[in-house]
């Protein structure tokens, strides 16, 4: 009788130990899952077809049906509403460009913390304002409006096209989606025209090229973005 009782006690201890271990495992598992960060949600990049009329003087004209793919030349920098320069516009191609670039660099680092300044702007012409071309250094085709509306973020995530006429130009701030190398970025258009070369579909900033890992010879896909309230800049979407 004693042996039977002893065996029952040993068995009960084993069962209790198993139950305690199981409960402990469940608690640890739940705690671990709570600590794990949720993966970022992937947005669906809704785009639609759009007809773009392009042209340059009497030299060439064409119809581009978006989405389309082509080469984008790298544009120089434009004055923003944070670039305060005596006289309103730079008098040289480099006047106060350092402050402009430092501001843009700090914004870009939010998307790529490992980038350094000399890597982002590694060519001398990436440290200059856009040429005068009938206006001022750093001036787009909308003139004085640019200095009050164009924020540093907008100037960074920027796209140009050689619209056939002023009536064909999209409203200032119209958003498009650019994609290359499995990366995407939302850009704005409507503040500047160009380039004049028919070999290019449009133009983008240094920051766009850096994010997409592209250059003047790369093929970039451009689409009209359905959600015009989307934030500009890099986006994780499919």
- Is pTM beyond 0.85? Reply is no
What is the total residue count of the chain?
238
CB 222 within 8 A of CB 67: yes
* pLDDT(3) > 80: no
Given a contact cutoff of 8 angstroms between Cβ atoms, the answer to whether 221 and 180 are in contact is yes
Report how far residue 221's alpha carbon sits from residue 219's, in angstroms, rounded to the nearest whole number.
7
pLDDT tens string 9-37: 545 555 555 554 544 444 444 444 444 44
Q: How do residues 86-140 score in pLDDT, each as one tens digit?
A: 989 999 999 999 999 999 999 999 999 999 999 999 999 999 999 998 899 999 9
The radius of gyration computed from the CA coordinates of the chain, to the nearest angstrom, equals 28
CA 223 to chain centre: 14
Q: Which helix (H) or strand (E) holds 39?
A: none
Average pLDDT, the chain: 87
Among positive and negative, which fits the CA dihedral 86, 88, 93, 96? Answer: positive
Q: Are 54 and 62 in contact (CB under 8 A)?
A: yes
Helices (H), 70-156: 97-108, 117-120, 145-149, 152-156
How far is it, in rounded angstroms, from Cα 76 to Cα 129? 6
Tokens of 192: 């500047």
Q: Predicted confidence band at 45 (pLDDT cuts at 50, 70, 90)?
A: confident
Tokens of 204: 């983008």
Q: 237 falls in which pLDDT band (50, 70, 90)?
A: confident
Q: What angle do CA 100, 101, 103 make, to 5 degrees?
A: 70
Q: From CA 180, how far away is CA 169, in angstroms rounded? A: 24
Name the phi and psi angles at 64, rounded to 5.
-115, 125
Q: Which residues of 111-138 are buried (b: 16+ CB within 10 A; e: fewer)?
A: eeeeeeeeebbeeeebbbbbeeeeebbb
């Amino acid at each position: 009788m004693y042996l039977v009782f002893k065996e029952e006690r040993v068995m009960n201890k084993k069962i209790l130990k198993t139950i305690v271990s199981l409960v402990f495992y469940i608690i640890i598992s739940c705690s671990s899952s709570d600590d794990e960060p949720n993966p970022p949600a992937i947005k669906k990049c809704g785009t639609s077809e759009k007809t773009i009329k392009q042209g340059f003087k009497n030299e060439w004209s064409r119809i581009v049906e978006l989405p389309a793919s082509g080469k984008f030349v790298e544009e120089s920098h434009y004055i923003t509403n944070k670039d305060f320069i005596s006289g309103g516009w730079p008098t040289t191609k480099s006047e106060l460009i350092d402050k402009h670039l430092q501001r843009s660099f700090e914004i870009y680092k939010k998307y790529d913390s490992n980038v350094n300044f000399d890597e982002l702007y590694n060519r001398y012409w990436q440290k200059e304002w856009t040429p005068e071309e009938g206006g001022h250094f750093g001036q787009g085709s909308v003139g004085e409006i640019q200095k009050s509306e164009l924020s540093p973020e907008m100037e960074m995530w920027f796209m140009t096209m050689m619209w056939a006429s002023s009536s064909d130009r999209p409203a200032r701030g119209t958003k498009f989606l650019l994609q290359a190398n499995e990366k995407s970025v939302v850009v704005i258009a409507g503040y500047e025209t160009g380039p004049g070369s028919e070999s290019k579909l449009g133009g983008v900033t240094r920051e766009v090229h850096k994010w997409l890992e592209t250059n003047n010879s790369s093929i970039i896909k451009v689409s009209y973005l359905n959600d015009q309230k989307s934030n500009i800049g890099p986006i994780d979407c499919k």
